[in-house]
Chain A
Amino acid sequence: MTLPGAHSERASSDTVPEIGSQRWDTTPSMSERYAVSEEVTAVEVDGEIVAYNPATTELHLLDRVATAVWSYLDGHDTLGEVCAQLADSFGADPDIVRADVTVLIGDLLAKGLVGPTPPGD
């Protein structure tokens, strides 16, 4: 299983202005819970997520594998638990899944599309 990840192109400045940005620590932790950022608008079209982050004014297109991971990011399970579920669903090597998901979540964190869920939420 490989996770090609999120593809993004910066929206042109004449259509989407800078209105500030919010960035997280981009090193994911397997014991952390992650969820899609509240301010992000996203739609799924034929198995691909298109997401807009108003904080960075960037549109992103996630491929099918990244979209599958995205669907698990509800802030309920730890990233380690998400990886175990993904490995089970895809019948993939858990170590490879953990490595790929780490890269993907780091990318999504850097883009401000997901964030850690505070303990107790």
Chain B
Amino acid sequence: MSPGANVIPNAGFADECDAAHWAADDRAQPELSGRTYAALGHTFSLECSDAQLACHLRRLLAGLEVPCQADHVYTIDKAEGSDGPFEMYRDGHIVDSFGSANKVVDHLVSAVNLEAIASTEKTHLVLHAAACTNGQVTVVLPAPSGSGKTTTVAGLVLAGMGYLTDEAVAVDPSTMQVIAYPKPLSVKPGSQGLLSGLAPTDPAFERGDWHVAPGDLRVDPVGVPGRPSLLVRPQFVDGATSLLTPVSRGRMTYLVANNTFRFRYDHRRLLPLAAKLCESAACFELTVGDLASATQLVLEAVRDTERGALAQ
């Protein structure tokens, strides 16, 4: 199956967010009413006065929606009948003013992500990484920005893996299990050519990063995480042949540590945890040339890991 074959572009969007529904702008939109969200340890609710944006946010954040006590509230306000600007508030305090809905979404996704990391980085091992799972094998893809984390995990989820995150992998130090953080995928302009099937259908959201709802990749997209047994460091190389190369667990510990949030402040706690994460995992570096072949290489490693062929 080639990535992209089972893309569901904005599945259900038209049904849930038709224009007639948007017309009822009574300030705080019912789309978000009563919904609460958890981004790792950061819990929040949303209020939005713009019906179309409220509907868009509901879809984007669906993976994070859980019944919980929201510790924070983000409010997005747009003057009625205007095209903007949008004002964003956090707990009643203004954050900033934005000239377009796309920029508000950019800022909200980024702010929630920073808060999510901050909520766990002092107690967990939090990696700059993407992750997915098939229920048996949890795959973690640690890498700096621009290496292809989002692209690779999107390809794997399109091919049937369960999505866990594209940005921050929090590992519980007591169990070494990953905590799901199914945020919207942030597809940077450099990766959009490889994931053209995920292009926003609404022109209002097509500039800059594409924020893609996990539900746009496939039905029931979020997986149940476990302890990582496959660690793959991706590196996108334009025009290269995709290649999956085994690396030592020492090398992977080095790569994991180098992509650990707060490492410089807490290295005595975090370096042993990085080593523990790698000690029973199969470890690889992945050159991502074209997405389809890179995805197949990782899926083969997943199957080998599942069969125990890579267990050491």
Contacts and interface: CB of A to CB of B under 8 A. Distances in A.
A12 B258 contact: yes
A22 B249 CA distance: 29
Contacts of B275: 43-45, 50
A15 B264 contact: yes
Interface string B243-268: 00000111101100111110110011
A45 B253 contact: yes
Given A41-B267, A52-B271, A46 B261 contact: no
Contacts of B259: 15
Contacts of B67: none
Interface residues of A, number: 23
A57 B253 CA distance: 16
Main secondary structure of the interface of B (DSSP, over half): helix
A102 to B, nearest CB: 24
A15 B117 CA distance: 13
Interface string B223-256: 0000000000000000000000000111101100
A50 B260 contact: no
Contacts of B264: 11, 15-17, 19, 54, 57
B249 A59 contact: no
A47 B250 contact: yes
A50 B257 contact: yes
A59 B254 contact: yes
B77 interface: no
Contacts of A25: none
A57 B267 CA distance: 10
B250 A50 contact: yes
Contacts of A19: 264
A9 interface: yes
B278 interface: yes
Contacts of B263: 11, 15-16, 52
Main secondary structure of the interface of A (DSSP, over half): strand
A12 B250 contact: no
Contacts of A47: 250
Interface string A1-31: 0000000010110011101000000000000
B253 A43 contact: yes
A48 interface: yes
A16 B258 CA distance: 9
Q: Which 10 A-B pairs have the closest CB atoms?
A: A48-B250, A43-B275, A16-B264, A61-B254, A45-B250, A46-B249, A50-B253, A45-B253, A45-B249, A41-B267
Interface of B: 128, 144, 248-251, 253-254, 257-261, 263-264, 267-268, 271-272, 274-275, 278-279
Interface of A: 9, 11-12, 15-17, 19, 41-50, 52, 54, 57, 59-61
11 contacts: A15-B261, A17-B264, A42-B271, A45-B278, A46-B250, A46-B279, A48-B249, A48-B251, A49-B250, A50-B250, A61-B251
